Structure 1
Amino acid sequence: MTTNEAISNMDWRTKLLNPTPLARPGFKSLATPTYRGSTVVFEKQSDVTDDWQQSQNGYSYGLYGTPTSLELAARLSNLEGAHHTFIVPGGQAAIALVYLAYCKAGSHALVPYSAYGPNREMAADLLKGFSVTVEAYDPMIGAGISSLIRENTSLIWCESPGSVTMEVQDVPAIVAAAHARNVPVALDNTYSAGVMFDAFKHGVDVSIQALTKYVGGHSDLLLGSVSARDEQAYAALGPIYRQLGLAVSPDDCSFALRGLQTLDVRLERLEASTLKIAKWLSDRSEVEVVFHPALPSCPGHEIWKRDFTGSTSVFSFRFDKEFTAKQVIDFVDALQVFKIGLSWGGVTSLAVVYPSLDRPKDDHGHRLVRLNVGLEATDDLITDLSAAFNHVTGGE
């Protein structure tokens, strides 16, 4: 009896639930199908496994990914030159996976004080509760980080450029110092979308991204990636990935796959528009300093020129000392094209004030504003900024 004949003889209630495909096979499309599912069906009992290494050993359970999420992981691995990539629910989940893979009770870790805020919050709260000591360090320390490495140091984080204040780190120097003591280095490479800075060429062991930003690109998904340099990093990350149950939505992965197709053209446009606006701000009397990696005013600018192939859409500037906290807030509130919001990397321009930052060497006070430049016409964005400056200064 053929499969179709067997199905035809079933009760209609059974027919409703039969998963056997009835449509003609062989459909080929330019889009990766969106596979949804928790349960994996096996041909026979001897095939049943509960193996998280689905890329190598076949599908076992939807928790560890479907063909949609594994396709995204494989494409990111190929793009970044990684041994393997794990897709996780967001950038913060990516950070947590790395910490929990490399740190245990009694471990010491290092994180730059310019790192993404929730990274440092996790260090001060969750990890401290697990008896893991996380020490903040000057992002510009370079090879000097060797003086901070202890016998129990199990992880060094880098984030370059740093969140908000945009310090560009000497990652190769940090990696050299770390590897001399057998300490792995993880990098938050979200700013570079995994392509403007070659993490693995520069010796990094684990590279993470918030795919929410440039890969997603449209402010409509939450995803993260954790890419392993080699089998050693893969072996450290994999079991923890499995135990944490970091399942992702295949629909979000589908959006991310689509975002990859336009990443090149979006980054090119975003870089050009952002540079034009950053240079324009540099000439404004209201602005004391602009923190954009491609400008000499940014800490680590020479390192950026050496190690990076381009810049992206997020940067900050600091108002002159004469401006009050209220004036800075009024400036952001007066913007019309720029929207007020956190995150970055999307097609819509955003602005937000950072009134208090823990930056030991710099007192930014209430005067720091971060911009994300989107795909609006650049001249419209400049006009919007100009009008907001005029609003707080009484100019025309």
Structure 2
Amino acid sequence: MSKPQDISTLPAHQARTATALIHHPYQAPGGFDAVPPGVHKASTVIFENTAALHTRQWQDKSGYTYGLHGTPTTFTLEERLATLEGGLHTVLAPSGLSAISLVDMAFLRAGDEVLIPDNAYGPGKDFARVELARWGITHRSYDPQNAEALAGLITERTKLLWLEAAGSVTLEFPDLLGLLRVARQHPHLRVALDNTWGAGLAFNPFQMPDPQDAAGAIWGVDVSVHALTKYPSGGADVLMGAVITRDPQLHHQVLMTHMRLGLGVGANDAELVLRGLPSLPLRYAAHDAATRQIAQWLQSRAEPSQVLHPALLDSPGHAWWAELCQAAGGLVSMVFGADRYSTERVHAFVDALQVFKIGYSWGGPMSLVMPYRLDGMREHGHLAGRRGTIVRLAIGLESPAALMADLEQAFQVLA
């Protein structure tokens, strides 16, 4: 086997070419403008001199220092997401779950407590149950539809309150205004909302008018977390999350924790979310309209014992949803009681679906279905102690008629 040739032994013109290709003097002219933002990929960022090295700032987006701390592509996405949610500052994370974890780590210390709604996203609850507990941070769950009960749980140790609208899988809409009225009586308490379902379109998490307040009070959360994996991407091909704030000090806390953890997102993923944002309102409206039609049709069916969708009059929290929202997203769930259907029969129904595909997540073009064991899922509310299976449908962009026909044929398995 021949010995590799040392570059120093290359002919002179080859050595010169290698250097010229790396340090080529040509710079493309400025002024190029197009519909999509440019995609900038970098780990190393070049400084023109040592003065720039020591003075350039990335925290306020006035300059670039390292790819992990921002590029023109990620800065652009952050600003557009802040506008979407009604915030002023955004930090990007590799997933929705990492955005939740980032907020926990930014605002909680050993000895603190966090309150989490009973119907919150499961992996977020697991992070508190396992990881936060190992760091001396406790958590308790609460009923998001009982603001009075929340008032009795808050202590001086309670530093963070999580909200989620609507609840994960079971889709109860919480008493957001009531919960915020209680929370704002405790200045030491930070309030964070998982706003993935609302997508920044169902309601403004930072400005929620209170119809019960004669003075016209407007409530808002401190932090909004958004899993960009869902509606903003719209293609079922990106994992990303965002933490949005309005308060500069809170943003700085999140940003510094984000920096120390070394969190970052890829430029191509940021590009895909940027591409999805202009069509987000149109897609969300289409998901919403189709899901309402299917939810109403499901209510006419005998198979599910309950249909859960915030826009349905008898769905838990409908009145609170109607106070704040006009849109209701693309999720609807069905409850199948164990007294009527075994788990195996419900799974056979799910397996019989053809247009719906079995898979996690939602917000993409394809309709998805996911069964969950109801036993022990909830400690509070109308599903506490219930046995059976809950089936969540994520309505995509197919025709509602095709989706209802698919459900119709699969229901025959239950019959």
TM-score by length of 1: 0.94
How far residue 51 of structure 1 moved from its aligned partner, in angstroms, is 7.0
Match of residue 336 from structure 2? 319
Equivalent residue, structure 1, for 2:373: 355
**Does residue 1:250 correspond to 2:255, yes or no?**
no
Q: Alpha-carbon deviations, 1:11-35, whole Å to 9, x = none? A: 2111111265433332211111110
Matches within 5 A, 1:385-396: 385-393=407-415
Larger mean Cα displacement after TM superposition, 168-177 or 194-203: 168-177
CA contact (8 A) 1:63 1:247 kept: yes
Relative distance call for 1:143 and 1:200 in structure 2 (3 A) is farther
Where in structure 2 are there 5+ consecutive unaligned residues?
1-12, 209-219
Kindly state the Cα deviation for residue 369 of structure 1 after the two structures are TM-superposed.
0.3
Partner of 2:206: 200
Match of 2:402 among 366, 380, 387: 380
Q: How do residues 6-85 of structure 1 correspond to structure 2 at under 5 angstroms?
A: 11-18=16-23, 20-49=25-54, 53-85=58-90
Counterpart CA distance in 2 for 1:76 and 1:20 is 36
Corresponding position of 1:4 = none
Task: Return the alpha-carbon distance in structure 2 between the equivalents of residues 78 and 267 of structure 1.
Answer: 17
- Alignment pair present for 1:132 and 2:148: no
Aligned equivalents of 1:20, 1:184: Cα separation in 2? 51
Deviation at 1:348, TM superposition (A): 0.4
Q: How far did residue 323 of structure 1 move?
A: 1.1
CA change 1:137–1:50 in 2 (3 A) is farther
CA distance in 2, matches of 1:156, 1:49: 39
* Other structure's SS at 1:360 match: coil
The partner residue of 1:288 within 305, 310, 314 is: 305
Displacement of 1:131 after TM fit?
0.6
User: Match of 2:192?
Assistant: 186
Question: Partner residue of 1:263?
Answer: 280
Deviation at 1:83, TM superposition (A): 2.0
CA distance in 2, matches of 1:358, 1:319: 14
- The whole-number CA distance in structure 1 between the counterparts of 2:245 and 2:54 is 24
Per-residue Cα deviation, 1:284-340 (whole angstroms, up to 9, x for no partner) = 011111110000222110000001131110121112531111110000000000000
5 Å matches for 1:140-289? 140-182=145-187, 183-202=189-208, 203-289=220-306
**Cα distance in 2 between the residues matched to 1:85 and 1:143:** 32
Identify the range of structure 1 (233-242 vs 250-259) with the bigger mean alpha-carbon deviation.
Answer: 233-242
Matched AA of 1:385: L
User: Structure 1 residues 327 and 50, CA, compared in 2 at 3 Å: closer, same or farther?
Assistant: farther
Q: Which moved more, 1:35-44 or 1:232-241?
A: 232-241
Among 337, 345, 367, the alignment partner of 2:389 is 367
User: Alpha-carbon deviations, 1:342-371, whole Å to 9, x = none?
Assistant: 111111000011014520242442321000
Task: Confirm or deny: 8 A CA contact 2:57 2:63 kept in the other structure.
Answer: no
Whichever residue aligns with residue 73 of structure 2, its letter is: T
CA contact (8 A) 2:89 2:246 kept: yes
**Aligned equivalents of 1:346, 1:52: Cα separation in 2:** 37
Percent of aligned pairs with the same residue?
39
1:142 and 1:374 map into 2 onto residues whose CA distance is 34
Where do 5+ consecutive residues of structure 1 fail to align? 1-7
Distance 1:219 1:143 in 2: 39
- 3-state SS in 2 of match to 1:379: helix
Q: Which runs of 4+ in 1 moved over 4 A?
A: 49-52
Separation in 2, partners of 1:84, 1:119: 22
After superposition, the CA RMSD in angstroms is 1.7
Name the SS for the 1:154 alignment partner. Answer: strand
* C-alpha separation in 1, matches of 2:296 and 2:390: 17
Task: Give 1:341's aligned residue.
Answer: 359
SS at match of 2:28: coil
Task: Describe the shift of the 1:244–1:19 C-alpha distance in structure 2 as closer, same or farther (beyond 3 A).
Answer: farther
- SS at 2:305's partner residue? strand
Change (3 A) 1:19 1:143: farther
Name the SS of the counterpart of 1:110 in structure 2.
strand
2:144, 2:183 → 1: CA distance? 14
Once the two structures are superposed, what CA deviation does each residue of 1:51-91 show, in whole Å capped at 9, x if it has no partner? Answer: 77444431111111211111000001122221201111010
Aligned partner of 1:307 in structure 2 is: 324
**1:192 corresponds to which letter in structure 2?**
G
The amino acid across from 2:410 in the alignment is A
Corresponding residue of 1:3: none
After TM superposition, give the deviation of residue 50 of structure 1 in Å: 8.5
In structure 2, how many angstroms separate the alpha carbons of the residues matched to 1:161 and 1:95? 16
Q: Which deviates further from its counterpart, 111-120 or 134-143? A: 134-143
d(CA) in 1 for partners of 2:54, 2:386: 55
**Is this contact kept in 1: 2:151–2:182, CA < 8 A?**
yes
Q: Secondary structure at the match of 1:186?
A: strand
Q: Which amino acid aligns with 1:358?
A: M
CA distance, structure 2, for counterparts of residue 136 and residue 178 of structure 1: 15
Distance (whole Å) between structure 2 residues aligned to residue 271 and residue 364 of structure 1: 28
Q: Tell me: CA distance 1:44–1:379, structure 2 relative to 1, closer, same or farther (3 Å).
A: same
